[in-house]
Amino acid sequence: MKGKKLISLALTAVMIAPLLTACSMGAKSEDKKERVLRIATSNGYTGDDEYFRQQFTDIFEFNNPNIKIEIIPTGDDSERYSYYGPRATNEPPKEFKDPFVKMQELMEGDNPPDIVMMNYDQMSALLEKNLLSPLDSKIAEDKFDTTDYVPAVYDGIKSLSSDGKTYALAPLFNSTALIYNKKIFTDAGVEPPTDNMTWDDMFALASRISKPEGNKPIYGFSFNTSRWSDPFYDMNTYTSPLGLRYLNETGDKMTVDSDDWERVWKKFVDLQQQKAMMPVMDPNNPDNFQSNPDEEGPFAYDLFMSGRLGMTVYNYYQIANLIDVNKHASDIKNYSPIDWDVVTLPSHPEHPGVVAGINIAGLMGINTKATNVEDAWKFIKFVNSPEWAKLKSNSSYQLPARKSYIKPKDGLDYHIEAFYNVKPSSFSENDYSKFYRTMPNIGMVMDAGRNRLQDVMLGKTSPREALKLWQEQGDKIIQEIKSNPNGPITIDVSPMK
């Protein structure tokens, strides 16, 4: 056991040695002075969060023992328990301040953080208030290489600034691509999808390869691999790049009774009628939720892995599981390995290359009121260095932001560039998170929308009539929440009979 521990320590030392060297380059004698570097985040971490420290700060602190990193979470840790309700029935629920609002207040306060970690969709608000310092002079002075960044990350970050300067950097990201089953396309005699397709082009391909009849129907496309997917949620992949919203920016008015939303819902109805997509299952029919693994295989719940789906939206973290299952196909009863590849996610012609599903992780900038600017840049430079990217390149869940360290797994040959040769949508579902915090019952608005879409997909009403009803129900729910924020909702949003 002692020998194994020594080997493990030796391997760890070998892995981080380049990082330690990178950290110590350019060190000066005055670096021995003890200092504090304060990092604020609204992303849910706590002050002693082990994951945050392992992911971002441990190695830096190891090589800079004179720099103590203080993590400042702006969320209230007790909020996670608030959903259980107050301790007494007559006790009013505790109100929680939006962590992002609190972070902005800290940035402008008397003891400001030096670094802030933010979500991509939060950065514009900080730039509008001039709360972030440009990094360009530091980048130029240190000859810090940014040419190796994937465009989805670096250009995506720069696109948020009106002056074209760089105000933040991010070392990691996650992304989605369009995965396809090669055999289904070959059997249908249809050319497979390619990069930079429009959604309509891809939908046309889906119609050509669909074979929905028989005991083992094949569907051309689904936004989700699950047999019981939620089209209301899945639709965000299509609508987010268009900037379509359910609610206005203040959360006091619905915005769905519109021509744009009608076009989207009609598109989904047409795709189902053309049998290009998996049909929506009627939740009132229990037979729709039955599966027989002996007949349909062990992955009957997964349309792609069961060989019944030509194309689908696939997250990077799903790739590792698919590779692993294929590798052990001979040990899995009724499973045939999937011959697959990926291309970039389709986009809308009015927003070419812009896709949803890109999550830029570890996005950090320097506060304009930072008191420890030099150490702040030293830290940001370190976690965005090529050495750090190399260390993180083996992750199955996130991709390093530097292209040189993005490689297909297990020596396979697939088009991994599809995960990063795209642009991130500036609109995110996270934009609605503030409403869930201030209006706990706002989820009823989404339930209403989900049921109205189900009514449409099951042919019970037209898209526009359903959207009008959703608008009316949503506006009434919002008014009830305003009148009694924590009271019951009296609006009936049930599906049509």
| pLDDT by position in tens, the chain (length 497) | 444 444 443 444 445 555 555 554 444 445 678 999 999 998 766 656 788 888 899 999 999 999 999 999 987 665 555 544 544 455 555 666 788 899 999 999 999 999 999 998 889 999 999 999 999 999 999 999 999 999 889 999 998 999 999 999 999 999 999 999 999 999 999 999 999 999 999 999 999 999 988 778 899 999 999 877 788 999 999 999 999 999 998 889 999 999 999 999 999 999 988 888 887 766 655 454 445 555 566 888 899 999 999 999 999 999 999 999 999 999 998 889 999 999 999 999 999 999 998 999 999 999 999 999 999 999 999 999 999 999 999 888 899 999 999 999 888 999 999 999 999 887 665 567 677 767 778 889 999 999 999 999 999 999 999 999 999 999 999 999 988 877 788 999 999 98
150 shares its domain with 191: no
Domain count along the chain: 2
pLDDT score recorded for residue 446: 93
pLDDT score recorded for residue 47: 58
Give, to the nearest 10 degrees, the angle between helix 373-383 and helix 2-24: 120
pLDDT score recorded for residue 454: 92
pLDDT score recorded for residue 4: 42
Q: Which residue, among 351, 395, 402, 339, has the nearest Cα to 150 in the 3D structure?
A: 402
pLDDT score recorded for residue 78: 55
201 shares its domain with 347: yes
pLDDT tens per residue across span 218-263:
999 999 998 777 889 999 999 999 999 999 988 899 999 999 999 9
197 shares its domain with 235: yes
38 shares its domain with 116: yes
Q: Compute the residue count for the chain.
A: 497
Question: Is residue 118 a contact partner of residue 168, using CB atoms and an 8 Å limit?
Answer: yes
Distance of CA 358 to the CA centre of its chain: 5
Tell me, yes or no, whether 431 lies in a domain: no
214 shares its domain with 350: yes
Tell me, yes or no, whether 279 lies in a domain: yes
The residues that bridge with 430 in the sheet, in sequence order, are none
State the CB neighbour count (10 A cutoff) for residue 287: 7
The residues that bridge with 399 in the sheet, in sequence order, are 173
pLDDT score recorded for residue 368: 98
User: Cα–Cα distance between 208 and 220 in angstroms, integer?
Assistant: 7
pLDDT score recorded for residue 8: 41
State the CB neighbour count (10 A cutoff) for residue 147: 7
User: Cα–Cα distance between 443 and 351 in angstroms, integer?
Assistant: 29
Question: Is residue 226 a contact partner of residue 288, using CB atoms and an 8 Å limit?
Answer: no
pLDDT score recorded for residue 130: 96
Q: Which residue, among 192, 283, 269, has the nearest Cα to 235 in the 3D structure?
A: 269
pLDDT score recorded for residue 360: 92
276 shares its domain with 368: no
Alpha-carbon torsion 300, 272, 191, 242, what sign? negative
Give, to the nearest 10 degrees, the angle between helix 259-273 and helix 443-457: 50
Using DSSP bridges, classify how beta strands 340-343 and 115-117 pair: parallel, antiparallel or unpaired. Answer: unpaired
pLDDT score recorded for residue 193: 98
- Phi, psi of 44, deg, nearest 5: 95, 0
Instruction: Decide: residue 252, CB within 10 A, 0-12 exposed, 13-18 middle, 19+ buried.
Output: middle
342 shares its domain with 393: no
CA dist list (Å): 14 to 11, 17, 20, 382, 406: 5, 5, 10, 18, 21
Tell me, yes or no, whether 453 lies in a domain: no
Q: For the chain, first and last CA: distance in Å? A: 65
- Phi, psi of 351, deg, nearest 5: -135, 65
The residues that bridge with 348 in the sheet, in sequence order, are 351
315 shares its domain with 191: yes
Last residue of a domain, one of 343, 371, 406: 406
Last residue of a domain, one of 355, 370, 395: 355
User: Cα–Cα distance between 194 and 153 in angstroms, integer?
Assistant: 22
Tell me, yes or no, whether 481 lies in a domain: no
CA dihedral 163, 169, 172, 176 (to 10 degrees): -10
Tell me, yes or no, whether 250 lies in a domain: yes
Residue written as token pair 């629920």: 93
207 shares its domain with 349: yes
Q: Which amino acid is at 154?
A: Y
Q: What is the CA radius of gyration of the chain?
A: 25
pLDDT tens per residue across span 60-118:
999 999 999 999 998 766 555 554 454 445 555 566 678 889 999 999 999 999 999 99
328 shares its domain with 192: yes
User: Cα–Cα distance between 312 and 320 in angstroms, integer?
Assistant: 16
Phi-psi region of 66 (alpha: psi -120 to 50; beta: other; left: phi over 0): alpha
Tell me, yes or no, whether 66 lies in a domain: yes
Last residue of a domain, one of 325, 355, 385: 355
Alpha-carbon torsion 180, 182, 184, 186, what sign? positive
202 shares its domain with 323: yes
Q: Which residue, among 411, 373, 404, has the nearest Cα to 390 in the 3D structure?
A: 404
Each residue of 93-121: b (16+ CB within 10 Å) or e?
eeeeeebbebbbebbeeeebbbbbbbbbb
169 shares its domain with 251: no
pLDDT score recorded for residue 341: 98
Question: Is residue 269 a contact partner of residue 454, using CB atoms and an 8 Å limit?
Answer: no
The residues that bridge with 178 in the sheet, in sequence order, are 313, 343
Question: Is residue 322 a contact partner of residue 338, using CB atoms and an 8 Å limit?
Answer: yes
Residue numbers of the domain that contains 74: 15-80+94-174+358-406
Question: Is residue 201 a contact partner of residue 170, using CB atoms and an 8 Å limit?
Answer: no
Tell me, yes or no, whether 280 lies in a domain: yes
pLDDT score recorded for residue 26: 42
Which CATH number does the domain housing residue 105 bear? 3.40.190.10
Give, to the nearest 10 degrees, the angle between helix 443-457 and helix 463-483: 160
User: Cα–Cα distance between 227 and 364 in angstroms, integer?
Assistant: 38
Tell me, yes or no, whether 434 lies in a domain: no
